C-alpha cells in the first residue's frame, strides 16, 4: 500500500509467444532458474507496495501456473484471471476481478527486470495524475515506411519508447476498458489518449527490456548476472 491508497497490480501473460520460436510460451521459460512470469510477479510482491496481485493467463494454462505459484510460494498472493484473444481483453478480464482499489498497475510478464524505484516513482506520480507511463528517449533515427519506401523522417526528439508497468487510477482505467472493449489497444494508456485524457510520462529504465526474441533473453540473463540475482 502507498500512503492511504490501495494498490492492485495485473501481470499480463496471455500471449502464446509465437515470435519467440519455442514450443513453450516465453513467460514460462526459466530465466536464470526462475520462470519469466514468476520473476515479474516476484518483483511486484517484493516492493511491499502491492495489496492485490493478479496474473492474466490463458485458461488452459491455469494448472501449469498454479503449480508454478505454489513452487515459488506465491499461491496465496496471486489470483489468476483468464486471458483473452487480445492483450486488451486479458486486462479487461482482470479488471472485473478487482473488487476495490484506488490505483492499479498493468505490467507485461515479458518485462521481468523492472526496478522497484520505477514502481515507486509511478505510484507517487498518481497523486496528481490519472495515467502515468514510463518512457525512454529514442537514440535511432525513425522513419515512416510504406511498401518498403520511406514516407518521412519523424522528429526523434518528440518520440519515446514506452514501457510497463503503467500506472492508473483504477476507476478511470476500468471505465475506459468498458467503453472501448474490443478496440484491441496496444497498451492501456492508448485508451486515455482516445478520450483525450492526459497521460504523464516518467523516465523509464534502460534495463527494463521486453523479452520478445531469444537475443532479448540472452541480454536479460546478462543484466541479471550483473545484478547477481
Q: Which domains does the chain have, with CATH numbers?
A: 7-227 (3.90.550.10)
Q: Could you tell me the three cell numbers for 178?
A: 468498458
pTM of the model: 0.93
Residue ranges of the chain whose pLDDT lies below 70: 1-3, 16-22, 229
| Residues of the chain above pLDDT 90, percent | 89
Model pLDDT, residue 23 = 74
Model pLDDT, residue 14 = 81
Per the CB < 8 A criterion, the answer to whether 56 and 83 are in contact is yes
Between CA 58 and CA 52 the distance in angstroms is: 20
| Tens digits of residue pLDDT in 24-56 | 889 999 999 999 999 999 999 999 999 999 999
Model pLDDT, residue 185 = 84
Model pLDDT, residue 108 = 97
E strand intervals along the chain: 7-12, 30-31, 34-35, 52-57, 78-82, 103-108, 131-137, 143-146, 149-153, 160-162, 166-169, 200-203
Between CA 83 and CA 109 the distance in angstroms is: 13
Model pLDDT, residue 90 = 95
Per the CB < 8 A criterion, the answer to whether 47 and 90 are in contact is no
Bridge-partner residues for 149, per DSSP?
146
Place of cell 491455469: 62
Model pLDDT, residue 206 = 97
* Region of residue 147 (left: phi > 0; alpha: psi -120 to 50; beta: else): left
What DSSP assignment string belongs to 135-199? Answer: EEE--S--EEEETTEEEEE--GGG-EEE-S-EEEEHHHHHHHHHHTTT---SSTHHHHHHTT---
Between CA 116 and CA 206 the distance in angstroms is: 14
Amino acid at each position: 500500500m502507498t500512503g492511504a491508497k490501495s494498490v492492485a497490480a495485473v501481470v499480463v501473460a496471455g500471449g502464446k509467444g509465437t515470435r519467440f520460436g519455442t514450443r513453450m510460451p516465453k513467460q514460462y521459460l526459466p530465466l536464470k532458474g526462475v520462470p519469466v512470469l514468476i520473476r515479474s510477479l516476484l518483483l511486484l510482491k517484493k516492493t511491499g507496495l502491492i495489496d492485490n496481485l493478479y496474473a492474466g493467463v490463458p485458461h488452459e494454462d491455469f494448472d501449469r501456473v498454479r503449480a508454478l505459484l505454489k513452487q515459488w510460494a506465491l499461491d496465496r498472493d496471486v489470483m489468476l484471471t483468464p486471458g483473452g484473444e487480445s492483450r486488451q481483453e486479458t486486462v479487461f478480464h482482470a479488471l472485473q476481478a478487482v473488487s476495490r482499489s484506488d490505483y492499479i498497475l498493468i505490467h507485461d510478464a515479458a518485462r521481468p527486470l523492472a526496478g522497484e524505484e520505477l514502481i515507486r516513482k509511478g505510484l507517487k506520480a498518481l497523486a496528481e495524475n490519472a495515467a502515468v507511463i514510463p518512457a525512454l528517449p529514442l537514440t535511432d533515427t525513425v522513419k515512416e515506411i510504406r511498401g518498403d519506401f520511406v514516407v518521412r523522417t519523424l522528429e526523434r526528439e518528440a518520440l519515446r519508447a514506452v514501457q510497463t508497468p503503467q500506472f492508473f487510477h483504477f476507476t478511470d482505467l476500468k471505465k475506459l476498458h468498458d467503453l472501448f472493449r474490443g478496440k484491441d489497444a496496444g497498451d492501456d494508456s492508448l485508451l486515455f489518449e482516445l478520450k483525450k485524457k492526459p497521460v504523464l510520462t516518467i523516465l523509464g529504465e534502460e534495463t527494463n527490456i521486453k523479452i520478445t526474441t531469444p537475443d532479448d533473453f540472452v541480454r536479460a540473463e546478462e543484466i541479471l548476472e550483473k545484478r547477481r540475482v
